[in-house]
A and B are shown apart, each in its own frame.
Chain A
Amino acid sequence: GAVVSQHPSRVICKSGTSVKIECRSLDFQATTMFWYRQFPKQSLMLMATSNEGSKATYEQGVEKDKFLINHASLTLSTLTVTSAHPEDSSFYICSASYQPNQPQHFGDGTRLSIL
């Protein structure tokens, strides 16, 4: 079945650091990938839709300059948290679907902790 790989699984870094998270579709091509954020014991909230070869679409309230998304190929989308601060600490999860009319498959998530 469809597999989505996310890397790294955990990041701990100092405030002010920029952190890059990768999301790969391993056995299919994904023109669209999604980035979600999950706070402890809460639900997933869609942050942005990553579109291969074009700009990402951000949800209301998500700072596009803080959360940079690049979808340079059909199998890779990256989320860069720029100048991260403790309030950016969260669990970030990506997803992709091998066809628009098929369900999304999720990566294992990245736990980001900013000290």
Chain B
Amino acid sequence: AQSVTQPDIHITVSEGASLELRCNYSYGATPYLFWYVQSPGQGLQLLLKYFSGDTLVQGIKGFEAEFKRSQSSFNLRKPSVHWSDAAEYFCAVATRSGGGADGLTFGKGTHLIIQP
């Protein structure tokens, strides 16, 4: 069965600094990978996805992520964070189709704190 590991439970970054959130997955074939963001008490918003092709994918709100098959990783990056980026970030994997056919497997999330 597939699994997702987000090794950092909390990350604190100064406003304007760069950000990288780590995500590692375990799956025998090429997975479909996603990053979602969740504000307190809210649902999840899709930031970006990787299905195939270019391993560097661009998303909304200035985020990007890079798929590295050799490292089984899909790390999320942003060159300059804003206070509004403070939230919970979840990495997720789907094993079939583009993610709409089966339930997703989520990592435990990384809580991002932005320092002024």
Residues of chain A at the chain B interface (Cβ within 8 Å) = 4, 6, 32, 34, 36, 42-46, 49, 59, 93, 95-109, 111
Contact = CB atoms under 8 A, between A and B. Distances in A.
Interface string B41-53: 1111110010000
Contacts of A44: 44, 90, 104, 106
A80 to B, nearest CB: 19
Given A43-B106, A103-B34, A32 B45 contact: no
Interface stretch (B23-31, B67-75, B94-102): B94-102
Given A43-B106, A43-B107, A43-B109, A102 B100 contact: yes
Highest count of chain A CB atoms <10 Å: which of B46, B49, B90: B46
Contacts of A111: 41
Given A43-B108, A109-B41, A103 B46 contact: yes
Interface string B83-96: 00000001000000
A45 B105 CA distance: 7
Given A104-B99, A106-B44, 14 more contacts: A4-B43, A34-B103, A36-B103, A42-B109, A43-B108, A45-B106, A96-B100, A97-B101, A100-B100, A100-B101, A103-B98, A103-B99, A103-B100, A105-B46
26 contacts: A32-B101, A34-B104, A36-B103, A43-B108, A43-B109, A44-B90, A44-B104, A46-B103, A46-B104, A46-B105, A93-B43, A93-B44, A97-B99, A97-B101, A98-B100, A100-B97, A100-B100, A100-B101, A101-B97, A101-B98, A101-B99, A103-B34, A103-B49, A103-B98, A108-B42, A108-B43
User: By DSSP majority rule, is chain B's interface helix, strand, loop, or mixed?
Assistant: loop
Nearest to A100: B101
A102 B104 CA distance: 12
A69 B57 CA distance: 36
Contacts of B44: 44, 93, 95, 106
Given A34-B103, A43-B109, A44-B106, A102 B98 contact: yes
